[in-house]
Amino acid sequence: MKIGYSKKFIKEFEKCPNHIKKSFKERLLIFSENEFDPILNNHSLLGKLKDYRSININADWRAIFEKDSKGMIYFSAIGNHSQLYR
């Protein structure tokens, strides 16, 4: 599985609290083994984000990604629920 990150994601990630960075890295390991592990709550989004999916980082934080036709995963945003879905 190949994983990429947008400039926006990288910028947002750098601003995240350390415990969120650590949680994301832990969830990314789970994701790389099984992208539909129940702990991730991997789900499709609606509306303007209908082409994207989201995984849970913790109770309030999410990482948004898309998967291309070749299976490349591209993370495009990370933030808490209110930051991402306003």
Separation between Cα atoms, residue 3 and residue 32, nearest integer Å: 9
Range of the domain at 64: 3-84
The whole-number pLDDT of residue 83 equals 86
CATH classification of the domain holding 45: 3.30.2310.20
In total, how many domains does the chain have? 1
pLDDT, tens digit, 9 for 90 and up, residues 17-76: 999 999 999 999 999 999 999 999 999 999 999 999 999 999 999 999 999 989 899 999
What tokens does 47 get?
A: 């509306």
**Spatial separation of the C-alpha atoms in residues 43 and 63, rounded to whole Å:** 11
Res 55: pLDDT:
98
Which DSSP string do the residues of 11-31 spell out, in sequence order? HHHHHS-HHHHHHHHHHHHHH
| pLDDT value at 86 more than 80 | no
Note whether 71 and 1 are within 8 A (CB): yes
Confidence at 1, pLDDT banded by 50, 70, 90: confident
